[in-house]
A and B are shown apart, each in its own frame.
Chain A
Amino acid sequence: MKSDEELMLAYCGGDTAAFGELFSRYAPMLERVLRRFGPSKDQLADLVQQTFLQLHRARNDFRPDGELRPWLMTIAYNLAREQWRRARRRPEAELDATAESKHAHQPDDQRRFELRRDLSHAIQQLPNDQQEVVRLHFVEELSFDEIGEKVGATAGAVRVRAHRGYTALRKLLSSGNISDDIDIDKGRGP
């Protein structure tokens, strides 16, 4: 299977089918992430579409040695920010809908339990140094400075470790390749 970057380079080289493949890979993820900002269905679809339009217009700026995911996500967040800014100036209805949505559709307890279990299992599959930082940051809710003091590293080094840990965590969770043979209460992975 081609990597995202290979697909992007193929698209820059004129392979239009590569665009469809990139869209299939990233549109659901963009939908999932941008949904957190409370847009309406139309706004959400528009944001995803605009993100890919920007990918097309900026395709010659993509560096062959670059990573596509952060490149595309930064475009999406910048577009979302501008949409948010416009919505703030426009009819109250758009913002009201957003505010109202915050209270809508509480997840059921079973689903919540499953998600937390998966997350916990995935954290335990991380390498020890990343696991420690992610656990302290995400579970125990310490700041990077506090974690740095605790593990004897600078806040910058902790950030780098957290970044790697979250990247690995996201890959584990999205692949569904999580081992259940871990004792959650033990708190540490193999």
Chain B
Amino acid sequence: MSPAPLARREGGAGETGIRLTEQQQRARRARSIAIAVALGVLVALFYIVTLVKGPGVLERPL
């Protein structure tokens, strides 16, 4: 399956641009949400571990 083709837009002054297809927009939105969730989990992880370990969160055995 090959990637969906780009839709190119011709502007009045001869400008060209990239307009994402519906499929590309949906894929980008899903990836963005997944990245946001992953970063949120990472933040939550650091927060919870800080609560568990107390002030010396970076004190750990070698």
Chain A complexes with chain B: no
